[in-house]
Structure 1
């Protein structure tokens, strides 16, 4: 049985999603001649930011690098991993721990869309600012990083659905990246994502058996 999931004018099947998720590979060799338009990257990002986030505060921030000179600038910062210059784009994902400062804008847009009443919005804004404003720096960063991981995975699946390949990269000097590209100090680095057309397919990998990682009702050693 195939389950259909409808959203707006688009219809996706359960089989479509499974094939995208199963077909995603971490690709490290890209066709350096392949270019992706800004419009296509925007489409991928628009799908990515539909990811969930704590209180819908959407703390993710992106720096998209397509310019060849900027990618070469990134190369030594990324420990000379060639995919950063060969891929069509490198997307740096960050998380803003102070995203709650945009609560008025975020919930205000929900009112404009007809999803929330003005009185409810005012209460949401007040409680959100009070709650998050009372949290410590480490807790705020932890929450934002979880959301950064969610949006990153959705970005990679969105790219695969459009026929592109990706690799998530944690191997880079985040402090040097922020300095080199004038990233706001308060933004917490999540990862780099190289994105483009594979020149060499990512190799298949195995996973631990589900029984070793999933437990029902109690955790057994």
Structure 2
């Protein structure tokens, strides 16, 4: 392993070990748009089923808008205090994106048309089942959410993932189209106080080798 690879590995490990859920944030912090875009681009590099990228990021930075979301998140103060709140949405109609992706790849000569047609047929067959579409939306938006939090930590910002919010009221308040479902709410900013310590179960309780 080269020195560059070693440094990158150490940096990645440090990010994963130091990322914690922070619930108290400094108010009036502004994340430079370039930095926020970099975080979102890194989050969007997450893997996804069929490369459908079933996530969308609804970014809230306006204070009035954050305060509007605050009661929907049951008064969790980080929603109002953090520099940004990212609503990670899952796409229930990602097969539409699939057609765009694979038809585009075939047109660009990146794959044979026959392969693209087979992929589109496979995707649209799977998405004919509502539960599959919902499962894929949740699963892949979850992957992007974790990557977003790691990217934020690498850029020097803290986060907390939140599932405690009224999804129906959020959809109504933010005019979220029925194509998308709210999967995760992530507060993003600078910590006003450290995260509470949290223990981790030992591998002996987490890892099952070969079979139960």
Q: TM-score, normalised by structure 1?
A: 0.88
Structure 1 partner of 2:196: 203
Contact 1:63/1:91 (8 A) holds in 2: yes
Deviations 1:56-82 (A, max 9, x none): 111111110000110010111111111
Structure 2 partner of 1:155: 148
- Quick check: 1:30 aligned with 2:28? no
Match of 2:209 among 203, 216, 219: 216
Aligned-CA RMSD value: 2.0
Structure 1 partner of 2:161: 168
- Comparing 30-39 and 45-54, the one that deviates more: 30-39
SS at 1:211's partner residue?
Answer: helix
Contact 2:54/2:136 (8 A) holds in 1: no
Counterpart-to-counterpart distance in 2, 1:208 and 1:3: 32
Q: Assess, with a 3 A threshold, how the Cα gap between structure 1 residues 12 and 150 changes in structure 2: closer, same or farther.
A: farther
Q: Assess, with a 3 A threshold, how the Cα gap between structure 1 residues 151 and 29 changes in structure 2: closer, same or farther.
A: same
Q: Assess, with a 3 A threshold, how the Cα gap between structure 1 residues 170 and 49 changes in structure 2: closer, same or farther.
A: same
Match of 1:97 among 92, 95, 98: 92
Contact 1:3/1:14 (8 A) holds in 2: no
Structure 2 partner of 1:181: 174
- Quick check: 1:138 aligned with 2:131? yes
More strand by share: 1
In the TM superposition, what is the alpha-carbon distance from 1:3 to its structure 2 partner? Answer: 7.4
Q: Assess, with a 3 A threshold, how the Cα gap between structure 1 residues 112 and 201 changes in structure 2: closer, same or farther.
A: farther
Contact 1:2/1:13 (8 A) holds in 2: no
Counterpart-to-counterpart distance in 2, 1:37 and 1:117: 42
Q: Count the aligned residue pairs.
A: 212
Counterpart-to-counterpart distance in 2, 1:71 and 1:134: 36
In the TM superposition, what is the alpha-carbon distance from 1:33 to its structure 2 partner? Answer: 2.3
Deviations 1:2-34 (A, max 9, x none): 7755xxxxx962111000000101011111121
Q: TM-score, normalised by structure 2?
A: 0.92
Deviations 1:112-156 (A, max 9, x none): 776434442233223322x22432x12220122111111100000
Ranges in structure 1 where 5+ consecutive residues have no aligned partner: 6-10
